[in-house]
Structure 1
Amino acid sequence: MTLTMDEVLQRARPVMPVLVIDDLNLAVDLARALHAGGVEVLEVTLRTACALKAVEVIRRDLPDLLVGAGTLIHAEQFAEARDAGAQFAVSPGFTARLAAAAEQCAMPYLPGVMTPSEVLMALEHGYRSLKLFPANGSTSVKMLKSFKGPFTGIRFCPTGGVTPDNLLSFLRLPNVACVGGTWIAPESLVKARAWDQITQLAAEARYLAASLEHSA
């Protein structure tokens, strides 16, 4: 069955961890710690030399996880990510060339937008699941509220500025499917191999989201 980006975001709720992996030897343990905290979907950013290999080993050792490749800014990166086993792709912005590369690789694609014009451009290419980047706290919450009227049926994943303190402000919005976050696996805890703490951070995010759902 072909996976859609909307399905990826549904499984990711409340938080899709955004991972910068510098040490390949830590990749599987990090993913396993997040999975233990309830994470089903994660994004490995292609900002390091071992990022593609990290995607490959996480997919191999944790097949129940959905693993995406992020920060794709060049068209050729889509094929590289696909060949490494990435199941979806994420970009900080959007261009027609990136969209064509995603389509050619048959990968679910989450393009980044920030303005109404960028949302319209993504819509013209058939995308209805979008990444809002950067998500600047209360300013972005207000923006997403204003987007709800003209952009019906669009689902957003705010990323870049989401924290435990503003997590619920984003998740309360009906047009927010999930958020992207780096705080769940901060560099300091990863380097310290503090897997139990990372598991706890993931579980706490899910607990917060569950409290929101129960109060609805």
Structure 2
Amino acid sequence: MTGTDLAATLAGARVMPVLTVPSEAMAGPLADALAAGGARCAEVTFRTPDAEQVLKAMAAHGGLVVGAGTVLTPEQVERAVAAGARFVVSPGFDEGVVAKCRELGVPVVPGIATATELMRALRAGLGTVKLFPAEALGGLRTLRALAAPFPGMRFVPTGGIDASRLAAYLADPAVLAVGGSWMATPAHLESGAYAEIRRLTAEAVGVCTP
């Protein structure tokens, strides 16, 4: 997958579940629930001991384009790609992470929170960035202020966004897709609420479909 391919995937999906999965045993039922709800892609965060196994299992599912999130180091990039990640997402901008992704031929969406970080992303030749943490930074007002001087940049706002805010973000032309964890929280997974995950995912996908 190239950066252009990822941008096209995100533009088609418009919403990306961000997943923190406690156990590998949850990966299969979770992938089934997300796919049944209409999700096209998902981000598995590197925040749990089983993250690589979860990523590997979900990547093998076939119904989703699965990437790795919360990737902080070049070494984590290597592990994520080895586990089957089709793309990498980072909470911040790190030259080493971007360089390793380039070396391995996997697209990367780094996080930015300031105009300075956005300029560094542009200098690195990137066209898509993650605004994080979106709501804590000021939400759409901040996104629009950052987007104005950089008309070619596309954003994947993530952090604090829920179903009630999804439509407003998607209506902004600078927003490629929205990342969010409300569709499949650790609490949902711990209680085995896969039907609820499917419902919430379908609800979010419905907002994305005119």
TM range (shorter): over 0.9
Question: CA offset at residue 135 of structure 1?
Answer: 0.8
* Structure 2 Cα separation of the partners of residues 40 and 47 of structure 1: 22
Q: Do the aligned partners of 1:55 and 1:67 also contact (CA within 8 Å) in 2?
A: yes
Question: CA offset at residue 64 of structure 1?
Answer: 2.9
Q: Do the aligned partners of 2:89 and 2:111 also contact (CA within 8 Å) in 1?
A: yes
TM-score normalised according to structure 1 size: 0.92
Q: Do the aligned partners of 1:9 and 1:177 also contact (CA within 8 Å) in 2?
A: yes
Cα RMSD between the aligned structures? Answer: 1.5
1:67 aligns with 2:66: yes
Q: Do the aligned partners of 2:3 and 2:108 also contact (CA within 8 Å) in 1?
A: no
Q: Do the aligned partners of 1:130 and 1:157 also contact (CA within 8 Å) in 2?
A: yes
Question: CA offset at residue 90 of structure 1?
Answer: 0.3
* Structure 2 Cα separation of the partners of residues 149 and 58 of structure 1: 37
* Structure 2 counterpart of 1:31: 31
What does the per-residue CA deviation read over 1:77-108, in whole Å, with 9 as the maximum and x for residues that have no partner? 11111111110000000121111111111111
* Structure 2 counterpart of 1:18: 18
Aligned with 1:131: secondary structure? Answer: strand
* Structure 1 Cα separation of the partners of residues 66 and 17 of structure 2: 10
Question: CA offset at residue 37 of structure 1?
Answer: 0.4
Letter in 1 for 2:167: L
User: What stretches of structure 2 of length at least 5 have no aligned partner?
Assistant: none
Question: CA offset at residue 36 of structure 1?
Answer: 0.4
TM-score normalised according to structure 2 size: 0.95
What does the per-residue CA deviation read over 1:18-61, in whole Å, with 9 as the maximum and x for residues that have no partner? 1111111111101110110000100000111111111111122x
Q: Do the aligned partners of 2:20 and 2:185 also contact (CA within 8 Å) in 1?
A: no
Q: Percent identity at matched positions?
A: 39
* Structure 2 Cα separation of the partners of residues 173 and 101 of structure 1: 31
Aligned with 1:58: secondary structure? Answer: helix
* Structure 2 Cα separation of the partners of residues 150 and 192 of structure 1: 45
Q: 1:72 to 1:149 in 2, by over 3 A?
A: same
Aligned with 1:130: secondary structure? Answer: strand
Number of matched pairs:
209
